[in-house]
Amino acid sequence: MKKLLLTVSVSLLLVSAFSQNISKITLSESGHVSAISFDLPENVVVNLSQDGIIIDWGEDIYKGRMENYRNKLEPYTGKVEYYKENDNDAFIGKIKFIGMTRISYYASYEDESLAGKVKNIGQINVEYYPKYENEAYKGRLKMVGTVAFTYFPAFGNDPNSGKLKGVGNTALSYYGQFDDKAYKGKIKSISSVSFKYYSSSEAKEYRGRIKTGSHIQTINGIKFFVKL
């Protein structure tokens, strides 16, 4: 009986650990991160900003059936708990439990620049670039579990400063300031997937629109959604 209980407990822990992960990164065509989505049990999704603030959360009723292009989430009807008045000032009123998944935040007595940012989502640790880093990405996500986030540094008038450069082993590139004005600064590639756009010399109604390259790509286990 004890062995059975131990096996069940370990199984639940493994399910919990592997159910909390980055599922999707939503970007604009210009490479700005709109949301970083985490999958929780019961089809729950938590959308996090690149600065570590929860944008929204809820149940994705489309999960496993079709792509949720609108990123619309339905209210979750399971266990929900919030931090209370006797908790640290930095996270009073913030969401604490969604189902069995606990969310924690950096406290006010830690680095003041991190106070209130998400610290853990279940078993996943979240770290940020410190305040003395490059102006273009200080305070942004640095590590989510074992996945590293990198950004292009602030450099002169570079239109790509601060844009996402890499997620783990997945590299992103962008068209530069000397490229055609219809698509300069837009995503050029995500890993081996290239994006091409209609130029300023083509029909007005098409200029700047994606010509080749699917706006949904799953690379290294993470879905990249380029929002049109």
pLDDT of residue 9: 38
pLDDT at 154: 83
* β-bridge partners, 222: 219
Average pLDDT over residues 165-175: 95
Average of pLDDT values for 20-38?
89
Task: Please give the model's pTM, rounded to 2 decimal places.
Answer: 0.86
At residue 214, φ and ψ (nearest 5 deg) are -70, 135
Q: Among 25-29, 154-158, 192-196, 203-207, which stretch is predicted with the lowest mean pLDDT?
A: 154-158
Dihedral (C-alpha) 16, 139, 117, 18: value to the nearest 10 degrees? 0
**Pairing relationship of beta strands 193-194 and 196-197 according to DSSP bridges:** unpaired
**pLDDT at site 10:** 36
How many C-beta neighbours within 10 Å does residue 1 have? 5
pLDDT band for 11, please (50, 70, 90 cuts). very low
- Quick one: pLDDT at residue 228? 75
Instruction: Convert the pLDDT of each residue in 38-83 to its tens digit.
Output: 999 999 999 999 999 999 999 999 887 888 777 889 999 999 999 9
Mean pLDDT calculated for residue range 88-103: 95
Q: 108 pLDDT exceeds 50?
A: yes
Secondary structure (3-state) at 18: helix
Give the pLDDT confidence score for residue 199 in this predicted structure.
95
Other C-beta atoms lying within 10 Å of the C-beta of residue 129: 19
Q: pLDDT-derived band of residue 35, with 50, 70 and 90 as boundaries? A: very high
Gyration radius from the chain CA atoms: 20
Structure confidence at residue 157 (pLDDT) = 74
pLDDT, greater one: 154 or 148 = 148
Mean pLDDT of the chain: 88
User: H/E element holding 97?
Assistant: strand 95-98
Cβ-contact 151, 140 below 8 angstroms: yes
* pLDDT tops 50 at residue 218: yes
- C-alpha distances (whole Å) from 144 to each of 9, 61, 206, 216, 222 are 25, 25, 37, 22, 13
Q: 12 pLDDT exceeds 80?
A: no
